[in-house]
Amino acid sequence: MTLQFLLNGLIEGSMIGLGAIGVTLTYAILRFSNFAHGDFMAWGAYSTLMLVGLIGSAVGTVAPIGPLSFGWPLILAGLGGMVFTGCLALLLDWLLFARLRARGQAIVVVMASFGASMALRNLLEFAFTSSPTYFSRKIQIARPIGLGIRITPDQTVLLGMTLVLVVGMHLLMTYSRTGREMKAVSQNPALARVVGIDLDRIVRMTWLIGGALASAAGLMVGVLVQIRPLMGLDMLLPMFAAAILGGIGSVPGAVLGGLVIGLSQAASVQLVGAEWRQAVAFVILVAVLLVRPTGLFGVQER
């Protein structure tokens, strides 16, 4: 047995955690499980891919940065993809969720997100076919970092990106006015209105942030694994498990939950076989719901 699974788990956990932040915020502030969140990841990856292509056709081939598999166009496109996906989430809310929310039945909104998920996924399959594609087909050499663990340059950089995004999100939630207002809305929307918080603005911020982080997670999956229309769907259960494990509404909880799920999945590949990998998230989800329904960082509401 090697300790490589620790690194694999960390990377998988980062992808799950980045996506789970959006899941947990949407759940806490809009009070519904958005099953289309995984598809935001796929749309983020594909929109980034399209932007890379656009940049490529404008400036020609750009050499990769040092030992990485990609150059500055991907970084720029990644940021563009985050903006695009944030706006996509906003658009979906304006077209669909906001209208249903106004009628006041939460379950209808959840069901609508199932439909939106299917529509978004099929649009991608229609436009890009269901066969996988890649940001780069360049082979990356993994370098040993001790204890029998090897890491590629891409992995190092993307783990760094995750760290920056997660710390940034935590600072935003803890120290900014918007972060405090988001927490206030998640705890008591009616009181939030009474103290002068514009609910619509907070809802828009939630979608923008959730969509952008899903896109970053999609970029990470795209660079380190592959890009497929179903990539987000496969991440959906682990993301929800992470959000619930961490405690709904908690950003650090979602990330920690993601890491726990990612590490458990990677460990299960080594210990019990790869075919059980998907079951792990499910088992953890059920166990948390039975033992501590509020999650690690969750607090019993009222």
Partner 1 sequence: MAAMLETDGLVAGYEPGLPIVRGASIRVEPQEIVVILGPNWAGKSSLIKAIAGLVPISGGAVRLAGAEITRVPAHRMVQAGLAFVPQTENVFPLLSVQDNLRVSAGGLPRAETAARIEEMFALFPDLARQRRLMAGSLSGGQRQMLAAARALIVRPRVLMLDEPSAGLSPKFVEMVFARLAEIRRGGVTVVLVEQNARAALAIGDRAYVLVEGRVAHEAPAATLWDDPVVAELYLGQRSDGGGR
Among 3, 129, 198, 286, binds partner 1 (CB under 8 A): 198
Under a CB-based contact definition with an 8 Å cutoff, are residues 221 and 45 in contact?
Answer: yes
Question: For the chain, how far is it from start to end, CA to CA, in angstroms?
Answer: 47
Between residues 143 and 193, which has the closer beta carbon with respect to partner 1? 193
Residue 299 makes contact with partner 1 by CB under 8 A: yes
Residue 120 makes contact with partner 1 by CB under 8 A: no
Residue 194 makes contact with partner 1 by CB under 8 A: yes
| C-beta neighbour count of 198 within 10 angstroms | 12
Cα Rg, the chain, nearest whole Å: 19
Residue 172 makes contact with partner 1 by CB under 8 A: no
Residue 147 Cα distances to 3, 142, 270, angstroms: 7, 14, 16
Closest contact distance (angstroms) between CB of 260 and partner 1 is 23
* Token pair listed for 72: 């500055």
Taking the mean position of all CA atoms in its chain, how far away is CA 41? 6
Between residues 39 and 181, which has the closer beta carbon with respect to partner 1? 181
Between residues 81 and 249, which has the closer beta carbon with respect to partner 1? 249
Only segment of 59-67, 91-99, 192-200, 234-242 that touches partner 1 (CB under 8 A): 192-200
Nearest by Cα to 22 from 89, 83, 111: 89
Between residues 1 and 195, which has the closer beta carbon with respect to partner 1? 195
Interaction site with partner 1 (CB under 8 A): 177, 180-181, 183-184, 187-188, 190-199, 299, 302
